Amino acid sequence: MTDALVTVEKPGRSFAGDLWRQFRAHPGGVAGLIVFTFIVVAVYLGPFIHTIDPNKIDIKAKNQGPSWAHPFGTDNLGHDMLAQVLAGGQISLAVGITAMLLALLLGTLVGVLSGYFKRIDGLLMRITDLFLALPLLPLLLVIIMLFRDTLRAAFGPETGIFILIVFVIGITSWMHTARIVRGDVLAVKSQEFVLAAKSSGMWEYRVILKHILPNVMSSIMVSATLGIASAIITESALSFLGLGFPSDFPTWGRLLFDGANFLQINPSRVLWPGLAISLTVLSVNYIGDAIRDALDPRMMKR
């Protein structure tokens, strides 16, 4: 009689599981994820609970402090500040995410092409250096002043400004991503598995998609998280200068701009949008740091 051999298989470890395990070990990243999730949920689901129209004017209730009816107070026209912060958050987050995606697409494309194809490396890097050398804020101001009225007439005041803001932020924010991705591609393309794929006759685009991009995805993900914070700050700065969205289409930066003149009368007008910008940017930066640490190969081997 032979004894039956019973084999007990250990549960396999997945990349996603290891990534989440390393992410949880970063207290700042976990706190940032909680805060950012709360902000996103509050911004997009809050208007269904706090149903006051952000553009409703109530002169009798102007410049009030926080109350049960108006938890964040009101402005000089009686607008409910909580409703305006929630509505402004939807626009600011949409601008930040969309502009980040555009910058990430351009930066990844330039970085991969520059790092993989040596013959165009010099040209693409000189273009990148040219964009890095440009004074970004004056460039943004000039582009907005030149094309603002044209896009408003073509797409409407809100959509036209949204397209313009996203475009100018995206085309002026891709350079750092391109440099980071290029460095990673240069390191990856000389490894054995890439050389073996090229020796087997695999097409260049398949080598890039199958072997290069997956190995530089960590840098792309970190750039994505940090790009959202950068885009939100840039949009807020443009709106604060009065060159962003119209006053009846509030963003966090626009609320700061409108409330700056009433700082001594009603400080809460700049407190709440400023706090929303700070918490969003800080939480996204912590998330980016945690993702960078979690994707570190030395940490993944532990």
Q: What is the pLDDT of residues 191-217, one digit of tens each?
A: 888 888 878 877 888 888 888 888 888
CATH C-level class of 28-50+79-300: mainly alpha
Q: Whole-angstrom Cα distance, residue 156 to residue 269?
A: 28
Domain boundaries, the chain: 28-50+79-300
In this predicted structure, what is the pLDDT of residue 158? 78
pTM value is: 0.82
All residue ranges of the chain with pLDDT < 70 are 1-15, 296-302
Q: Which neighbouring-strand residues pair with 74?
A: 80
In this predicted structure, what is the pLDDT of residue 126? 92
In this predicted structure, what is the pLDDT of residue 297? 56
Identify which of 93, 106, 100 has the alpha carbon closest to the alpha carbon of residue 223.
100
The angle at the Cα of 99, spanning 149 to 187, to the nearest 5 degrees, equals 140
Q: Which neighbouring-strand residues pair with 80?
A: 74
Contacts of 89 by beta carbon, 8 Å cutoff, 6+ apart: 39, 42, 43, 252, 276, 280
Three-class SS state of 226: helix
Phi and psi of 203, rounded to 5°? -60, 150
* Structure-token pair, residue 31: 């706190």
In this predicted structure, what is the pLDDT of residue 8? 44
Identify which of 278, 232, 276 has the alpha carbon closest to the alpha carbon of residue 43.
276
Identify which of 277, 219, 269, 268 has the alpha carbon closest to the alpha carbon of residue 36.
277
- Count of CB atoms within 10 A of residue 77's CB? 15
- Count of CB atoms within 10 A of residue 261's CB? 11
Residue type, 4: A
Q: How many CA atoms lie within 13 A of 66 on its CB side?
A: 7
Three-class SS state of 223: helix
Q: Whole-angstrom Cα distance, residue 224 to residue 101?
A: 7
In this predicted structure, what is the pLDDT of residue 299? 53
Mark residue 73 as left, alpha or beta (left: phi above 0; alpha: psi -120 to 50; beta: remaining).
left
In this predicted structure, what is the pLDDT of residue 34? 94
Q: Whole-angstrom Cα distance, residue 25 to residue 65?
A: 41
Q: Whole-angstrom Cα distance, residue 283 to residue 27?
A: 12
